[in-house]
Amino acid sequence: MEERGMSREEIESLLHEKKRKDIAYDKILSSMCTYPHEIAAYAHRMFLESNLGDPGLFPGTKEMEDEAIRMIGALLGNEHAYGYISTGGTESNIQAIHAIRNRKRREGLKDMNIIVPETAHFSFDKIADILSIEVRKAALDEELRMDVNSLEELIDDKTICVVGIAGTTEFGQIDPIKKISEIALEKNIFLHVDAAFGGFVIPFLDEKYEFDFSLDGVSSISIDPHKMGMSTIPAGCILFREESYLNELAVSTPYLTTKEQCSLIGTRSGASAVATFSVLKYLGREGLREIVGECMRLTRMLVRGARKIGISPVIEPVMNLVTLSVEEVEKVANALEGKGWRVSVTRVPKALRLVIMPHVKEETVKKFLEDLKDVV
């Protein structure tokens, strides 16, 4: 830091200069984030200083967080779920496993393990590290869903949690949550559903999938308002069916307005919680359904166009995420980047990965297909 500060004008021009280096979302097909809805941005700005780490000072903000939790819970089959607006899917996943780990540790269990599918998000590698827990990976079936036979083989008396994914990060696939829920109930194991991406998509698809609290075996769910919920960053959400699991996370907070805190982080953004509340109130289910409907229309258009140039999807898209089997995929991805696109590549099987977020327009898909045809 310099001794003397810069002028307001200098800072502004510096910010504009740096902003130009950032990539606009318009040609980004690799990210699960998007422009926040205008109403979310408005609400976020209005509550910038609000700290939900000390909610007694911000009771208005807290009311909106509680209402957001109720709305999201209702969307996921349980308006009496317990939880909070987190910083994202990573924190939500950590806290779900953290809660059941604490419960089982109190009961005296040691050397615990959890089981996730091979497609699990890398946040579970962080969980293995931070919570010192073994993370076992179940094999997939041909459609890249968790293979329940493999799951059953991996379960032993140290298994404290099974994780099913409703909308995998790489392929947009939905694990057979109903079957997994039955296994979890039968073996009395905690089931966490990672719907960070899919939570705001699956309820609005034409095809119906059971994945939420309407299944008795589901104990907790992660869902990210900052992905398909059109909120500002950072906004995730962790929900538990039973309050007692949230209480496993509580630490006492002696000098704050409330006695306890369950979030992983201390000072946390009231702004993005309010943004989440606002955008859900504004759009309603109707508005969200419309957004998902348009993303799915463009997803199907992209797949049809790809097929016309001889490229097939790895799986028939379930959500607004397309993976294409192309030869020498890294080369293709690089060539597309040369044309200004941002795309990504999956691990196994290798494929070109394209996320059709709400910033993607019909024109974008057409232009992309032209460039893809050129490149292959």
Q: Does 98 bind ligand PLP (CB under 6 A)?
A: no
CB of 75 to ligand PLP, least distance (A): 17
Residue 212 is given by DSSP the state: S
**262 by DSSP, 3-state: which?**
coil
- Gap between the Cα atoms of 187 and 200, Å rounded: 29
Residue 166 is given by DSSP the state: B
- Gap between the Cα atoms of 312 and 326, Å rounded: 8
CB of 223 to ligand PLP, least distance (A): 10
Which one, 78 or 90, has the nearer CB to ligand PLP? 90
Question: By CB under 6 A, which span of 85-93, 142-150, 244-252, 283-291 interacts with ligand PLP?
Answer: 85-93
Residue bearing tokens 């609400």: 43
Which one, 217 or 236, has the nearer CB to ligand PLP? 236
What angle in degrees, to the nearest 10, is found between the helix axes of 89-106 and 123-130?
30
Size of the site for ligand PLP (CB under 6 A): 14
Closest CA to 46 of 285, 282, 277, 264: 277
Q: Does 54 bind ligand PLP (CB under 6 A)?
A: no
Helices (H), 55-193: 59-75, 89-106, 123-130, 148-154, 177-187
Site for ligand PLP in 157-196 (CB under 6 A): 165, 169, 194, 196
Q: Does 90 bind ligand PLP (CB under 6 A)?
A: yes
Residue bearing tokens 């269990």: 109
Which one, 32 or 333, has the nearer CB to ligand PLP? 32
Question: By CB under 6 A, which span of 83-91, 127-135, 208-216, 274-282 interacts with ligand PLP?
Answer: 83-91
CB of 161 to ligand PLP, least distance (A): 15
Site for ligand PLP in 5-34 (CB under 6 A): 32
- Gap between the Cα atoms of 341 and 157, Å rounded: 48
**282 by DSSP, 3-state: which?**
helix
Given 34, 50, 61, 123, the residue binding ligand PLP (CB under 6 A)? 123
Contact 138, 117 (CB under 8 A): yes
CB of 80 to ligand PLP, least distance (A): 24
Q: Does 197 bind ligand PLP (CB under 6 A)?
A: yes
CB of 168 to ligand PLP, least distance (A): 6
Closest CA to 121 of 38, 195, 203, 214: 195
Binding site for ligand PLP (CB under 6 A): 32, 88-90, 93, 121, 123, 165, 169, 194, 196-197, 224, 236
